[in-house]
A and B are shown apart, each in its own frame.
Chain A
Amino acid sequence: MSKLNETDIQGFVLRGYNLLFARYFFLHFEEPARARRLIEQLLPSITTGQRWDSGKPQSTVNIGFTHRGLSAFELPPATMISFPVEFQQGMRARASILGDTGRNAPEHWEHIWRGDRVHAWLGVNGITPAALDARSAALRNLIDETRGAVVLDSQDAAGQIVDGRPTAKEHFGYTDGFGNPDYLGVERSTQPGQGKLMPDGSWAPLATGELLLGYADEAGELPVAPIPHILASNGTFMAYRKLHQNLATFRNYLEEKSRLYGGGKEKLAAKFIGRWRDGTPLELSPDAENPDIVKDPDRSTNFTYGADAEGTRCPIGAHTRRVHPRDAFGFNGKLIDRRRITRRGLPYGSFAGEDEQVSDSDDRGVVFMALNASLSRQFEFVQQQWIEYGNDAHQGNDKDMLMGNHGGSGKFVVQGDRSANNPPFICAHLPNFVELRGGDYFFLPSITALEMIAMKLVDPR
């Protein structure tokens, strides 16, 4: 297949910017003509997937719309009803499918997500807080001048800086951001373990249509997409979820359980997710962190679970093994190639050192954003079957240890062997370490599609 037209695809879709300061504005459009003018004037600022040959920009801007948001531009009804049903419904209406119940139920979400007013996500990333502020102010001015939208709210997020250097740590202390897939045609420094597993054990990029609309997916089909084709092509869907982290609960639970666990606290923490907190995969280094592996792109994601069917190295229910099972379900990994998602996202709230006092009510968590061609086939499947259920992983009714909506009754089995420092262990009475505070589904159109929306040119005929 030919190279993608990177200048037509929003940069946020094609690559993680690694610009650690972000602000996500949530907009409401009040009047169609003014909203279109805003998009028209915003267009030159939208960051595309074009390579940064002359270095990183100071800041980036990207935009996505809810189904209601697209209605606000007066798109033709024939177009509006052609979007996939889950996108038309929005994430709140999908709560029972996603397991967003109990403490994660919409009635507990932040105010903005309980209503129907969010029309757009305007994502800004900056290389420094000052660059983020400057770009945010410019966007605010544009919104005010055009009166194209009302800013309902904004969400700040930022990576952790330690000794002046950015880290990929989240609040529980794990290093994040290893597992994004490669796609055909997307130029990116690829590494083995990030695409799909081939019969000879090598790794190849996933079909473009697993990420972008308008291209063949892993079944050789075009993903379900709105009409006209040009509106959909080079676009994608995003699930935005604000995930609050109960840090005090996590630390207390880990502390309490590790007193009984023969492998020690850090190994137990590693067993929860399948990687040591520095990112070393348990599968490659079951007994200790190994910074050499983490730094080596040929090794840090290059492993399979075939030789660890019993889960004695990486537990079968560990987070990373659940959400990216590689070959764990057999059939050379073929069962998972249509269930992959691309994750963006950053932590929000202040970081707390291990010896700092923390409380569950502290405002901290992660803004989780998943990109995929089909929300129902990819994100929703992973959430429903691999996070909130354990059958595919042969873990019965057990949910994902860290992400699961346990409500105090969950269980996680750490498989082990006869050695004293790797014993089998059971974590029971699991609380909710993570709670959903809201979010929605967004469509991130191509640059061409944004222009067509701005010019009122979308025509399904």
Chain B
Amino acid sequence: MPNQNGSVYGLTILSPILDDEKASPSHDLQIRLYLSTLPTGANSPFAKSPGTHLCRLVVMDDVVYVGAPSIEEHLQSKYLVFECNLDATGEEGLEAYLRGLAEHMPDHLDAIWSHCVGYPGAADVQAFIRYMKACQVETTFFFAAVNNKSVTESLRALQTQRAVADFIASSQGMEASRLQAKFVEFAAKLKAEPLPKPGSMGPKRDIKLGGRNE
């Protein structure tokens, strides 16, 4: 099944954007404006909803004509594109994920998707799930940042890697019995550590992101 890669699901949703020439600013610009204010990283509403590995929202205006020999073509509508890697297996898993979105970030969903044709609102969860699935297109190939590991497993792995590296750095060369005692203590402490928040393990870089090189 192309939407599925191990336990990770690649979701692609194309929602037609309302075409209302009386709307000012236009619906697509209202979506763009709202998206530009959404936080990223650990504060993203998608990070706060369970099961999101990564996601991206794009407003697609039209097919851009790039000159001969290509053919000039146009979309019938503007679309909101939602691409997401999430933890789910099969249709039931997808529905559970969408239900999670509706429960954790209904206001954001409504602010974004209310500019799309036929959007029923997130309050009616069943209608919301039906709508999103009606807009779904098959994901034939997707970027697998993580293969077959859940968000929780990935976060735990990153936390462990970081902690173990720090432990080694501070205890290299230690006498064996002391090292063992220290390791037992370290392992117990690590096990008791709460899971880091999704989106919180990225690089702490004072570097400009999103440039041509990213």
A residues whose Cβ falls under 8 Å from a Cβ of B: 96-97, 99, 101-102, 259-260, 376-377, 380-381, 384-385, 388-389, 396-397, 411, 413, 424-429
Q: Is B91 an interface residue (CB 8 A)?
A: no
A411 B207 Cβ-Cβ under 8 A: no
B207 A428 Cβ-Cβ under 8 A: no
A425 B211 Cβ-Cβ under 8 A: no
Using CB atoms, name the residue of chain B closest to A96: B208
Q: Is B206 an interface residue (CB 8 A)?
A: yes
In the complex with contacts A97-B213, A376-B212, A388-B207 CB distance below 8 A: yes
The CA-CA distance from A429 to B170 in the complex, in Å, is 10
B173 A260 Cβ-Cβ under 8 A: yes
Which B residues lie within 8 Å of A388 (CB)? Answer: 205, 207
A99 B165 Cβ-Cβ under 8 A: no
In the complex with contacts A425-B172, A426-B172, A97-B207 CB distance below 8 A: yes
Using CB atoms, name the residue of chain B closest to A411: B165
Which A residues lie within 8 Å of B205 (CB)? Answer: 99, 388-389, 397
Using CB atoms, name the residue of chain A closest to B172: A260
Whole-angstrom distance from the CB of B174 to the nearest CB of chain A? 9
Using CB atoms, name the residue of chain A closest to B162: A396
Whole-angstrom distance from the CB of A288 to the nearest CB of chain B? 23
The CA-CA distance from A381 to B212 in the complex, in Å, is 9
Task: Count A-B pairs with CB separation below 8 Å.
Answer: 50
Whole-angstrom distance from the CB of B157 to the nearest CB of chain A? 11
Contact of B206 among A96, A413, A424, A425 (CB under 8 A): A96
Contact of B169 among A380, A396, A428 (CB under 8 A): A428
The CA-CA distance from A217 to B212 in the complex, in Å, is 18
The CA-CA distance from A377 to B165 in the complex, in Å, is 33
B211 A97 Cβ-Cβ under 8 A: yes
The CA-CA distance from A427 to B212 in the complex, in Å, is 32
A102 B169 Cβ-Cβ under 8 A: no
The CA-CA distance from A376 to B207 in the complex, in Å, is 15
Q: Mark B159-173, 1 if CB is under 8 A from A, else 0.
A: 001000110111011
Q: Is B203 an interface residue (CB 8 A)?
A: yes
In the complex with contacts A97-B211, A376-B213, A381-B213, A429-B169 CB distance below 8 A: yes
Which A residues lie within 8 Å of B170 (CB)? Answer: 428
Q: Is B191 an interface residue (CB 8 A)?
A: no
The CA-CA distance from A96 to B205 in the complex, in Å, is 10
Whole-angstrom distance from the CB of B144 to the nearest CB of chain A? 14
Which A residues lie within 8 Å of B161 (CB)? Answer: 396
Q: Is B22 an interface residue (CB 8 A)?
A: no
B206 A102 Cβ-Cβ under 8 A: yes
Q: Is B178 an interface residue (CB 8 A)?
A: no
Contact of B165 among A376, A385, A413 (CB under 8 A): A413
Whole-angstrom distance from the CB of B26 to the nearest CB of chain A? 30
Within 8 A of A (CB), among B140-180: 161, 165-166, 168-170, 172-173
Contact of A99 among B169, B172, B207 (CB under 8 A): B207
B213 A426 Cβ-Cβ under 8 A: no
Q: Can you report 28 residue pairs joining A to B where beta carbons are below 8 Å apart?
A: A96-B206, A97-B213, A99-B205, A99-B206, A99-B207, A101-B206, A102-B206, A259-B173, A260-B173, A376-B212, A376-B213, A377-B213, A384-B213, A388-B205, A389-B203, A389-B205, A389-B207, A396-B161, A396-B203, A397-B202, A397-B204, A411-B165, A413-B165, A424-B168, A425-B172, A426-B168, A428-B165, A428-B169
Contact residues on B (Cβ < 8 Å of other chain), bracket: 10 to 19
Task: Give the residue among A259, A384, A426 with the most B Cβ atoms within 10 A.
Answer: A426
Contact of B207 among A101, A377, A413, A427 (CB under 8 A): A101
The CA-CA distance from A427 to B172 in the complex, in Å, is 10
Which B residues lie within 8 Å of A411 (CB)? Answer: 165, 169
B203 A397 Cβ-Cβ under 8 A: yes
Q: Mark B70-99, 1 if CB is under 8 A from A, else 0.
A: 000000000000000000000000000000
Using CB atoms, name the residue of chain B closest to A381: B213
A426 B169 Cβ-Cβ under 8 A: yes
The CA-CA distance from A436 to B1 in the complex, in Å, is 51
Using CB atoms, name the residue of chain A closest to B208: A96
Which B residues lie within 8 Å of A384 (CB)? Answer: 207, 213
For the complex with contacts A376-B213, A397-B203, 18 further pairs of A-B residues with Cβ separation under 8 Å are: A96-B207, A97-B207, A97-B208, A97-B211, A97-B213, A99-B206, A99-B207, A102-B206, A376-B212, A377-B213, A384-B213, A388-B205, A388-B207, A389-B203, A426-B165, A426-B168, A426-B169, A427-B169
B206 A380 Cβ-Cβ under 8 A: no
Which A residues lie within 8 Å of B202 (CB)? Answer: 397
**Across the A-B interface, the 9 shortest Cβ-Cβ residue pairs:** A428-B169, A260-B173, A96-B208, A397-B203, A426-B169, A101-B206, A426-B168, A260-B172, A381-B213
Which B residues lie within 8 Å of A376 (CB)? Answer: 212-213
Which A residues lie within 8 Å of B207 (CB)? Answer: 96-97, 99, 101, 384, 388-389
Which A residues lie within 8 Å of B213 (CB)? Answer: 97, 376-377, 380-381, 384-385
The CA-CA distance from A425 to B168 in the complex, in Å, is 8
Which A residues lie within 8 Å of B208 (CB)? Answer: 96-97
Task: Give the residue among B172, B203, B208, B212 with the most A Cβ atoms within 10 A.
Answer: B172
Using CB atoms, name the residue of chain B closest to A339: B213
Which B residues lie within 8 Å of A377 (CB)? Answer: 213
Which A residues lie within 8 Å of B169 (CB)? Answer: 411, 426-429
Using CB atoms, name the residue of chain A closest to B202: A397
Which B residues lie within 8 Å of A385 (CB)? Answer: 213
Whole-angstrom distance from the CB of B66 to the nearest CB of chain A? 14
The CA-CA distance from A427 to B170 in the complex, in Å, is 10
Which B residues lie within 8 Å of A380 (CB)? Answer: 213
Which B residues lie within 8 Å of A96 (CB)? Answer: 206-208
Whole-angstrom distance from the CB of A446 to the nearest CB of chain B? 27
The CA-CA distance from A102 to B205 in the complex, in Å, is 11
Which A residues lie within 8 Å of B168 (CB)? Answer: 424, 426
Which B residues lie within 8 Å of A97 (CB)? Answer: 207-208, 211, 213
